[in-house]
Structure 1
Amino acid sequence: MRMDYFPKVGPAARGDDIPAVDYLKWYIPRLKQQRPHNLSFSGLQFPWVLEGIEDVWRDHRRPGYDDRSLIAKRYGVKENMVHLCLGATQGITLGILAASKGGKVAVEMPSYGPVSQTARLLGLDTVAVHRKPADGPWLIDRREWKEKLSDVDMVIITPQLNPVGWTYTVEDRQWLIDTCFELGVIIISDEVYADSDPQWKPFFLEGANCITLSSFTKVHGLGVLRYGWLIASEDYISIIADIFHNLAGEMPSPTIRIVEHIAGRLDEPVELIEKYRAANLPLLVAMLARLDIEWKPPAFGIFGAFKIPGIDTKEMIDTIGKEHGLLAVPGCMFGPGLSEWLRVAWSIDEDAFAEAILVLEKVINIARKQG
């Protein structure tokens, strides 16, 4: 019996009905295998080396100090438009709880499980809205979105779409903003990959009905710290603060102190991403060309996905890939109809990537021969 690994939409879920994040159930055991050729990372592998941090365990609170100021300055907003949280995953929960009126939630697909499933855990029904595959940015299915947005309180989006890495076209973005404003729909935008795009305009700038959430996990390689944030109108942030106090109390002092210690270095990971893109992407494009696979990389970011016609990529990674020490992420983890897609990240050093790409080519060739 074939298992569906992609996120599930549907009615509010509790108890035995709570959906698993099947991607993580599949991925974490394979990550622990430490396969030598790892093209699976969704975040930058940045070589952070931190010297001793004075008083790292001490309470960070002090008179006249606001721990939101670092993010407020990065975005050019007032502190009372910012709330810190324990990573973007928690930010999704906070945003939904703050904006919900109890109605349905539209969730963009394909997606990473927690982005599209969290609303169900919070007692809300969800419906899927899709972006359609294209040679370049995947496109909003405007007829489907308009119909479903007419019957929801909010829509949860990941502009830099997982697993393909493409963001919206200018036209699709503006259509989404205008449509949601017209229908009174809240937009919750998960922008964890946005810092890799120097031209990115955060969604919170588009109106009081828009909430941006992000973190230092993906682009900056600081996932172990669980440092995230939401940016929204002062009214929403006030509600989010109350929710956060109920769920988590306050931000952990070690997380605050470590991030503030390296605040002056936060551009380094972004620069490294550009270096990796320049060195690694040509190797990937050339390898795919040798296999007669046409592919256009996303303009920014650290991963992309391509279709290998006739190949079940999960089966390939679990068998031939394992045999050759290769790990990449099958597209079936993110949405229906993506069983022949494979997500590959170029977020590792050039030598390791060059070696892994040759192994990937070998694995694909073997899979094709085996039919």
Structure 2
Amino acid sequence: MRAAVLTGFGAPLTVREEPDPEAGTSGEVVVEVLAASVPPYAAEVFGGERKYPLVPPVVPGVGAVGRIVHVGPDATRLRVGDLVWCDPTVRSRDDALTPDITLQGWSSRGEGGARLALRQHDGAFAELMRVHTENVFPLPAAAGDDPARWAALTAHIIPYGGLLAGGLEAGETLLVSGATGNLGSSAVAVAFAMGAGRVVAPGRNRAVLDLLADRFGPRLRPVPLTGDGDVDRAAMSDAADGPIDMMIDLLPPSAPSTVARAAAMTVREYGRVVLMGGVGMLGGDDLALPYPWIMRNSITVRGQWMYPRAANVGIIRLLASGALDLAPETVRLFGLDAVNEAVAYAAAHGGPFERTVLVPRNSS
């Protein structure tokens, strides 16, 4: 098969022939990759800026839409030819309570995750990929008409996992910290698909705030940020026109912790705060929330990395039902030979609902 290989951090990806992946006797499937999303921050990963624990040479790529070409003997529902979503969040099978995790072809957590990555090493920037059987989820037939658009699952499922972790309920008011970014804007769309009553969307980019308001209407409450924590906190609270039940943070590593703090401290008594962003990953001040405020207001603060396995089924249902609409998204396709152009394009086009997608069987 042909694949894009990261031979070393700071070097361009190399497209070359690699051995076809083979499934084990059980527990794995092999998938033909139809479409794989290229995250906007991929250039930072491949350049070594984000210091992800990838071990070159490696075929990168985080999640894919594909068709099954081989199933193991223990698969009872999956069949060759099935159109599927390949979840990159691979969990170890020998600890149900605290499994080790690797993001196939992308990252891992701790020593156990690194060991797991030795087997599920290569990701989706290839014509074929080996995947754990439990990480493959059937897609509706309609997804076959435009698999590249459905590759946006890579973006939407992350905030969906955070909203599930925070227990978002229909009719509630949510504040999305980082709403003008790629993942933050996905959180806005997913929250409305889940039935949120209002979404408060703070940000510095007024053009993006206008875009969100135009797409989602009066239930979207945009808030231009000033950089003054007290002023911004008051503005976000006022925009909600009532209590803020939950806040989810999806700010990038470059964002100061003071922005996340101001957003978090808008939630009501018994409110929930979910942290999923990258604040502090590249240095800088850590997030400091006041102990008395958390305790006296019975605030729940929850960290969430990625999402539970069942979230894959839920997000696919939202897409299949039309509650989460992919039609307004902008999708730019690249063939495997243009993978480095795709990475550069993704970095320059990482705004709301902009998707860069690699189509490995397409030579252009």
Larger strand percent: 2
Q: Which has the higher contact order (CA 8 A, sep 6+)?
A: 1
Larger helix percent: 1
